[in-house]
Amino acid sequence: MRPTDLFDGPLMAEGYASARPRLHDRILRRALSAAQCAPAFGFCLDAGCGAGLSTAALLPYARLAAGADALPSMIRRAAARLRGAQFCVARMEALPLRDACCNLVTAAGSLNYTDVRAALEETARVLQPGGLLAVYDFAPGRRFREDNSLEEWFDTFLARYPKPDDGAVPLDPPALRAATGGLFEPVADGVFEEAELFHDARYADYMMTETNVAAAVRAGASPAPIRQWLEETLPAVFRGQTREVLFEAYFAVFAKPSSSSTRSAP
């Protein structure tokens, strides 16, 4: 299985557009604030943009924004939902951009699915000297702040629909600092929690976009019984309430070296 196979297709693209957590804007704002960078950039690229949620988070900082993704289904959905950016089908290892044209490149949960060193080398090529690379991601939301009922449910969910080996490379700030050696200078990083409110139906929508469900469907399972099981088991966990779900997240910001500065001019 190729790393991208589980994300391919119109149903997954629609799920990523409508059912994924809206955390990108908060995480990116936190990352750029920690980097103490200028509030506005010229040309910004969202590498591995998926259905466009991460690209939308980039728009407030960009005079011109673009998103690239290896999957045409994701690019079609992103282009349909977001009019303020340009989109193209491209892998992060081979971007259809000229040298030193970008001020900021973001990679939200996408660098893991690349040849990491090749993708970083290509990012360094398209960034201007002093330009920034912001990598960030968040783990599945599987915990309430108040009790462990969602964690217990999630363990049952994973036992029923196991997490597949999707080829993702584990990344965190220390791993990224090692991977970027010789290409970028570290600027800022952080590990933290973000929270978002869910009720049981919305959480079921979100779980249907997880790769363990996608793997079960690719193995021949019908989506309808999976959705039925979610709808039968989640109301007892959420108790008819909208509850705060916690997500473990990180960011790591790097600068392409410059003879005069490590920061991009706005």
Instruction: Give the model confidence (pLDDT) of 153-170 as tens digits.
Output: 999 999 999 998 888 899
Burial 15-38 (b: 16+ CB within 10 A, else e): bbbebbbebbebbbebbbebbebe
Kindly report the number of other CB atoms within 10 A of residue 86's CB atom: 13
pLDDT level of residue 6 (50, 70, 90 thresholds): low
| pLDDT at position 239 | 96
Dmax (CA) for the chain in angstroms is 60
Say if CB 61 and CB 104 are below 8 A apart.
Answer: yes
pLDDT level of residue 263 (50, 70, 90 thresholds): very low
| pLDDT at position 16 | 86
Judging by beta carbons within 10 Å of its beta carbon (0-12, 13-18, 19+), is residue 178 exposed, middle or buried?
exposed
Whether 1 has a pLDDT exceeding 50, the answer reads no
Give the integer Cα–Cα distance in Å for 144 and 149: 7
pLDDT in tens, 178-191: 999 999 999 999 99
What is the Rg, in whole angstroms, of the alpha carbon atoms belonging to the chain?
A: 19
Give the integer Cα–Cα distance in Å for 141 and 163: 14
Average pLDDT of every residue of the chain: 92
What mean pLDDT is predicted for residues 237-246? 97
pLDDT in tens, 17-71: 888 999 999 999 999 999 998 778 999 999 999 999 999 999 999 999 999 999 9
| pLDDT at position 4 | 53
